[in-house]
Amino acid sequence: MFHAMRTTFVLLALSISSLLLLPAQQPKDDQLAPYYPTPQTVVDKMLQLGGLKAGEKMFDLGSGDGRIVVMAAQKYKADATGVELNDSLVRQSMERIKTLGLTSSARVIHGDLLQQDYSSADLLTVYLLPVGNELVTPILEKQLKKGARIVAHDFEFAAWKPVQSVSIDDDGEGRSHHLYLYRR
């Protein structure tokens, strides 16, 4: 089951990569990665691996339903920002942030993750296809301050060497995951 899901995700990656060779148009929310949420147990492990501390600024690039942003603000007391293109996922995230009373420390920018300013970030979390990681690499190399950390879920940054990698054999639902920690 897991292998079939992983294969589907990778096949999507390849077909989406070829789409990116077409002339530039408006960004689409599935070009860099389709919506595929990280299980909550893995979200926690990503933030732990990233060493997120209270008051630090974190960004989730392609924040989906906002689950990473919410946990970063609620459990880790960080200042958390998601970036998401999909209208209904942004709406869902903002409603949850409001219901949980987290509006002073969590928010979601409705926009293209390739067009944002990450220069204040202490930690970034990323769950994008390889093509997404490749496109965001030069932006992060230019913008990130020294010592900023990046935690990538399942797909590595080809241009960088991780300082730590972690395998999760079973997330409780029979799926395995790989996490990669990078430091600028």
Ligand X SMILES: C[S@@+](CC[C@H](N)C(=O)[O-])C[C@H]1O[C@@H](n2cnc3c(N)ncnc32)[C@H](O)[C@@H]1O
Q: Give the footprint of ligand X on this chain (CB under 6 A).
A: 27, 29, 31-33, 35-38, 60, 62-64, 67-68, 83-86, 89, 112-114, 127
Share in percent of the chain as helix, strand, coil (round to 5):
35, 20, 45
Please, which residue, 85 or 146, has the CB nearer to ligand X? 85
CB of 89 to ligand X, least distance (A): 5
Task: Find, among 25, 27, 18, the residue nearest to 116 by Cα.
Answer: 27
Measured at CB, which residue is nearest to ligand X? 62
CB of 114 to ligand X, least distance (A): 6
Q: Which two tokens stand for residue 169?
A: 């054999």
Please, which residue, 35 or 160, has the CB nearer to ligand X? 35
Please, which residue, 146 or 156, has the CB nearer to ligand X? 156
Burial 169-181 (b: 16+ CB within 10 A, else e): eebeeebebebbb
End-to-end CA distance of the chain, in Å? 36
CB of 37 to ligand X, least distance (A): 4
Task: Find, among 88, 15, 44, 63, the residue nearest to 177 by Cα.
Answer: 44
Please, which residue, 15 or 146, has the CB nearer to ligand X? 15
CB of 128 to ligand X, least distance (A): 6
